[in-house]
Amino acid sequence: MKTIKEINEKIRKGDAVVVTAEEIIDLVEKKGVKKAAREVDVVTTATFGPMCSSGVYFNIGHSKPRIKLGGGSCTVNDVPVYAGFGAVDVFLGATAVPDDDPRNKVFPGEFKYGGAHVIQDLAGGKDVRLECGAYGTDCYPRKKLETLLNIKDLNEAVLFNMRNCYQNYNVAVNLSDKTIFTYMGMLKPKLGNANYSSAGQFSPLLKDPYYRTIGIGTRIFLGGGIGYVAWQGTQHNPCVSRGKNGIPLSGAGTLAVIGDLKQMSAEWLIGTSMAGYGVTLSVGIGVPIPVLDEEVVKRAAVTDACIYAQVVDYSRDYPQRNPRVIAEVSYAELRSGRIKLRGKNVPTGSLSSYARARKIACILKSWIGKGEFFLTEPSAALPGAESGYKVKVLNERLYKKE
């Protein structure tokens, strides 16, 4: 019905009709799929939540005399950074914490500052403290380097997140009789609360459940700037069971994303401290869905009431990798503030910010509306629901110790 090229032409002329993933729901309700598909050109989806497998690589430039960090050691604001590359390239992971952080020694640990906070500071234009040690070579004689760094002085600073944007996610509860601290937040005993983490009807991969328009090379809103889908994310698992509407009932698809950190902002990349668990980065992502035909609209207009998540016990089942699912609940129920579980009215909490997802979808809509953001054809498709591509678990094998 429409091609991406035609939609881009409309964007160029300022004629494109762009609606958010929430607005398309109302539109389809009022006018039906057929009419909505004719009227709308792009649907903007978004999510904002903690995404641990995020990181930044950067090149600090060559000092005089030169130093080779590869094989040496390196910290930024006391957070260890991986230096096993060329002379002055390093990779900073979101969940890294300083060596002297007490971690969980006094439980639950606070995890006040880690890699994700460094990423936020860099994106926010703050100076950070670099400390390096190297072994020294004939061509790179220097053994020690201590300096302030600012993102504007780095050659490249690139956000590269190997797993973001989970298509769907567990609802975490605690069946034990003591409070636990997890990556899904504090869970009170005996079903004291139920925490979920998805933007639901705003979430990119829930609105394109078969990855028809989102693929490798898709241009996106990333951390306040422009980024791209680089690959399927780690643990991409598209072949899980799906509901009649095609929506996965569990985790399923993920995205690896990449973009220029220099364009991004500290508003959409936020250092996050999960008590008793660790540091993570909350990332804002927005993905445009081109309205190619009615099928795209039908999928994009799915509501929270038709998207289900699985309730999992995080006191025993999750840590022990037991596959038990306690219940399936819809995001509409989750968002109502309470869900019924085993006869109990359990209050719900969210890790993903719906308000922020909405804001991102609106920003992306305005970028496209103003002709500042164009859509891309994917260079290659993500492994799909029929691909046989599956996440594997680790089967440990013993080895002989010399």
Q: Return the active site residues.
A: 139
Give the type of residue at 58. Answer: F
189 binds another protein, rule: CB under 8 A: no
SS3 117: helix
Q: What's the closest the beta carbon of residue 356 comes to another protein, in angstroms?
A: 6
Q: State residue 201 phi and psi, 5-degree precision.
A: -65, -5
- With a CB cutoff of 8 Å and minimum separation 6, the contacts of 239 are 385, 386, 387, 388, 389, 390
For another protein (CB under 8 A), the number of binding residues is 31
**Binding another protein by CB under 8 A: which of 158, 275, 306, 332?**
275
Q: Which residues of 303-334 are buried (b: 16+ CB within 10 A; e: fewer)?
A: bbebbbbbbbbbbebbeeeeeebbbebbbebb
Question: Of 11, 52, 81, 194, which lies in the binding site for another protein, with binding defined by CB under 8 A?
Answer: 194
**Nearest approach, Cβ of residue 294 and another protein (Å):** 29
Alpha-carbon distance of 222 to 285, in angstroms, equals 5
| Residue from 284, 305, 352, 338 nearest 201 by CA | 305
Q: Which stretch binds another protein (CB under 8 A): 86-94, 237-245, 288-296, 355-363?
A: 355-363
Read off the tokens for 269.
């990349």
Rounded CA-CA distance 115/97 in Å is 6
Window contacting another protein (CB under 8 A); options: 25-33, 47-55, 78-86, 235-243: 47-55
One residue of 350, 361, 365, 375 binding another protein per CB under 8 A = 350
CA distance linking residue 233 with residue 161, whole number of Å: 8
Gap between the terminal Cα atoms of the chain: 65
**Binding segment for another protein among 38-46, 52-60, 139-147, 275-283 (CB under 8 A)?**
275-283
In the list 174, 203, 282, 310, the residue contacting another protein (rule: CB under 8 A) is: 282
User: With binding defined as CB under 8 A, does residue 303 bind another protein?
Assistant: no
State yes or no: residue 124 binds another protein (CB under 8 A).
Answer: no
* Shortest distance in whole angstroms from residue 1 CB to another protein: 33
Phi, psi of 138 (to 5 degrees): -60, -40
Asked if residue 203 binds another protein (CB under 8 A), the reply is no
Fill in the per-residue mask, 62 to 101: x = in contact with another protein (CB under 8 A), - = not in contact.
----------------------------------------
Residues within the interface to another protein (CB under 8 A): 48-50, 112, 185-186, 188, 192-195, 270, 272-275, 280, 282, 337, 346-356, 358
